[in-house]
């Protein structure tokens, strides 16, 4: 199994509540890079979840030395608050969600995330029936265009959708490598990234319903009775970062009166806490040199009072 490098690890360590008792929640356990660091650097107990069976198996072994302080649950992060009790929720002092893929998932051929893969899968939960192969071979042309426009923000989404649709009328698309050849490696004029990379990202987001999952996680966080708890969310896509930014801004808002109201009538005490990162925290040049995938990572912090 390949080495997994957790992104923004030093930045996560800086915001850990080291002197406090209670629990930490790692909503995206992955290969336990962040979880191991939390256990080594704090006195907190750990609850961690993931929906990837390979990641869970690996991480249980990796965290074996901390077994007495660790509870690992198979779950999508959007559902984790349905699987822990109120006492655990009230004792949470740190919550981390790294909304990205692990290096292993990207590099492992059979997972079908890489453009060079001989497979076309992209499922984070391999027990899920719907995968990327079914998507590209069954979605209507208009639906392909929609996800390329909404999730990849491509101006020529219609043209790319037509390419894929025309090809599959004659041949089933069987691999990521084949799909990449259909799309081509044309780069965006304004960014150093190929259109195929963005298309693959859009397909992955659709297969795993990633934005819907993040919205549900944020909604759950908003409703829970946290006390003195820091939330750290790491995203890799502009659409994800916007969702996090808007949610944090809403939670920090004290006055909830209509913006057009003449004066405040809501008592002006509705904030849930404060934003700890006015701008997203990003990887240092040194980290990017060691792990190029960290260049897209953005972490935002919120402190529930």
**Buried/exposed code over 39-71 (b: 16+ C-beta within 10 A; e: otherwise):** beebebbbbbbbbbebbbebbeebbeebeebbe
Cα 225 to chain centroid, rounded: 23
Nearest to 207 by CA among 157, 159, 137: 137
The per-residue pLDDT for 71 is: 98
Let me know if 85 is exposed, middle or buried by CB neighbors in 10 A (0-12, 13-18, 19+): exposed
> Which secondary-structure segment (H or E) carries 285?
helix 285-290
Higher pLDDT: 268 or 155? It is 155
Higher pLDDT: 100 or 170? It is 170
Let me know if 160 is exposed, middle or buried by CB neighbors in 10 A (0-12, 13-18, 19+): buried
Least confident of 43-57, 171-185, 252-266: 252-266
Residue 3 — very low, low, confident or very high, per pLDDT cuts 50/70/90? low
Residue 75 — very low, low, confident or very high, per pLDDT cuts 50/70/90? very high
Averaged over 260-266, what is the pLDDT? 75
Let me know if 35 is exposed, middle or buried by CB neighbors in 10 A (0-12, 13-18, 19+): buried
The per-residue pLDDT for 258 is: 74
Q: Is 40 helix (H, G, I), strand (E, B) or coil?
A: helix
Higher pLDDT: 256 or 158? It is 158
Q: pLDDT tens across 130-144, in order? A: 999 999 999 999 999
The per-residue pLDDT for 264 is: 78
Averaged over 234-244, what is the pLDDT? 96
Yes or no: say if 26 and 96 are a contact pair by the CB < 8 Å rule.
yes
Beta bridge partners of 23: 45, 92
The per-residue pLDDT for 100 is: 85
Instruction: Say which residues have a Cβ less than 8 Å from residue 19's Cβ, sequence separation at least 6.
Output: 43
Alpha carbon separation from 44 to 8, 39, 93, 149 (Å, rounded): 20, 7, 8, 43
Q: pLDDT tens across 83-96, in order? A: 999 999 999 999 99
In the DSSP assignment, the letter for residue 229 is: E
Is this structure's pTM higher than 0.85? yes
């Amino acid at each position: 199994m390949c080495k997994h490098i957790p992104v923004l690890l030093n930045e996560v360590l800086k915001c850990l509540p080291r002197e406090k008792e209670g629990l930490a929640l790692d909503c995206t356990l992955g290969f336990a890079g962040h979880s191991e660091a939390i256990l080594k650097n704090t006195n907190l107990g750990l609850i961690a979840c993931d929906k990837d069976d390979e990641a869970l198996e690996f991480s249980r072994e990796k965290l074996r030395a901390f077994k007495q302080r660790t509870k690992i649950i198979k779950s999508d992060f959007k559902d984790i608050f349905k699987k822990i009790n109120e006492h655990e929720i009230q004792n949470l002092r740190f919550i981390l969600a790294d909304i990205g893929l692990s290096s292993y998932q990207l590099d492992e051929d059979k997972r079908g995330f890489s453009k060079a893969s001989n497979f076309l899968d992209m499922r984070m939960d391999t027990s899920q029936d719907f995968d990327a192969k079914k998507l590209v071979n069954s979605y209507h042309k208009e639906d392909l265009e929609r996800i390329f426009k909404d999730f990849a923000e491509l101006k020529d989404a219609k043209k790319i959708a037509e390419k894929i649709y025309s090809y599959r009328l004659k041949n089933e698309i069987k691999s990521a490598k084949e799909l990449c050849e259909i799309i081509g490696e044309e780069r965006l004029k304004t960014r150093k990234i190929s259109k195929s990379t963005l298309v693959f990202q859009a397909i992955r987001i659709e297969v795993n319903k990633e934005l819907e999952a993040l919205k549900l996680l944020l909604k759950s966080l908003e409703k829970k009775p946290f006390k003195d708890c820091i939330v750290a969310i790491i995203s890799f896509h502009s659409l994800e970062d916007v969702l996090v930014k808007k949610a944090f801004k809403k939670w920090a808002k004290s006055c909830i009166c209509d913006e057009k109201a003449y004066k405040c009538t809501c008592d002006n005490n509705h904030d849930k806490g404060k934003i700890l990162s006015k701008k997203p925290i990003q990887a240092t040049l040194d980290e990017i040199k060691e792990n190029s995938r960290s260049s897209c990572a953005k972490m935002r912090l919120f402190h529930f009072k």
